[in-house]
Amino acid sequence: MRQPRIKLEGQPAWYHCYNRTAGTRNDRPFGSVEKEQFVRILHRVCVLYTVDVIAYQVMSNHYHLVVRTPAEQPDLEEVCRRYNDFHGGKRTLKPGSKACRQWQARCRDISWFMRHLQQLFTCWFNRTRKVRRRGALWAGRFKHTLLESGLAVWRCWAYIENNPVRAGMVRRVADYRFCSHGMWCQSGRHPSLTASLNTPCPCSPTCSTSRTSPNSRRRWIRCCWKIRCWVGTSGFTTDVGRRVRHWTDGLVIGSPHLPE
């Protein structure tokens, strides 16, 4: 029997979302083309939803996301604009209509966001195989862990970004281009450089004092990505070099108090 998801309403919420493909652990259906397409679809879905993708990692048979949902629903005009942009003008919404109000509630909903992302990618994947396939691509419902703002977000972020290093695919996270950190290092753009990333850095309270300009945010991210940020803080497993089950099997992960 399906259990209801743990989702916060009326306040900002951080989630680690994760899913893997159906099949055996040795199946690797995603190559470079599939990974690139997953990232493209992820960016496209972000046009429609107000869910902020802070970090992503696309591997050969699974993916990880760290996302933040806002506290408030967008206004009806923004909903219509997002919907029209997403569909390229082929479909439109009218402010105040029943469909518009439905999408207003969906825009910040993590379940709708993940459902849309997985469905779009599955449709693309099935129709682009040499022998066209049908049916489900994913092993089941996506998993998600609720993260308390603060150290839990930073720990989870570091953990998922280091996936290709743990798998022996690259020596450095920066060398893997199908993750947010690799994309930032190789292109100079990082999806987390947004106003929504206001959770304190665990390494030093001064890291969160100035993030208004792009340059200051980049310096802040560089500081927070130094390995010293992830060593010596109690409360979480600091070893990002091995698999830790609570990041994928946990329900809620809290953060110890951080200095203001």
In this prediction, residues 44-67 reach a mean pLDDT of: 94
Do residues 232 and 127 touch, judged by C-beta distance below 8 A? no
Whether 86 is covered by a domain: the verdict is no
pLDDT value at 227 more than 50: no
The predicted structure's pLDDT at residue 229: 41
Higher-pLDDT residue of 162, 193: 162
Domain for residue 27, yes or no? yes
Strand partners, 17: 65, 144
Provide the pLDDT for residue 215: 52
Q: Can you give the residue range of the structural domain that contains 240?
A: 13-72+108-253
Q: Is residue 96 situated within a structural domain? A: no
Count, in order, helices (H) and strands (E) of the chain. 9, 5
Nearest residue to 38 (alpha-carbon basis) of 140, 120, 129, 159: 120
Percent of all residues in the chain with a pLDDT value above 90, rounded to a whole number? 48
Residue 232 reports pLDDT greater than 60: no
Q: Kindly indicate the confidence band of residue 159, based on its pLDDT and cuts at 50, 70 and 90.
A: confident
Whether residue 48 is contained in a domain is answered as yes
230 pLDDT band, cuts 50/70/90, is very low
Greater confidence (250 vs 134) lies with 134
- Which of 152, 180, 171, 135 lies closest to 244, judged by CA? 152
Residue 134 lies in a domain: yes
79 part of a folded domain: no
With contact defined as beta carbons under 8 Å apart, do 76 and 96 qualify?
A: yes
Say whether 66 sits in a helix, a strand or coil: strand
What's the token pair of residue 20?
Answer: 């893997």
Give the model confidence (pLDDT) of 89-110 as tens digits. 899 999 889 999 999 999 999 9
Residue 81 is assigned to a structural domain of this protein: no
CB 67 within 8 A of CB 18: no
- Closest by CA position to 229, among listed 149, 119, 154: 154
Q: Is 83 within a domain? A: no
Q: How many domains does the chain have?
A: 1
Give the CATH number, domain containing residue 181: 3.30.70.1290
Average pLDDT over every residue of 128-144: 92
Q: Yes or no: say if 42 and 117 are a contact pair by the CB < 8 Å rule.
A: yes
What is the rounded average pLDDT of the residues 101-122? Answer: 96
- Residue environment code for 77-89, b if the CB has 16+ CB neighbours within 10 A, otherwise e: eebbebbeebeee
Q: What is the mean pLDDT of the chain?
A: 79
* pLDDT number for residue 184: 82
pLDDT of residue 226: 47
Share of the chain above pLDDT 70, in %: 69
pTM of the model: 0.80
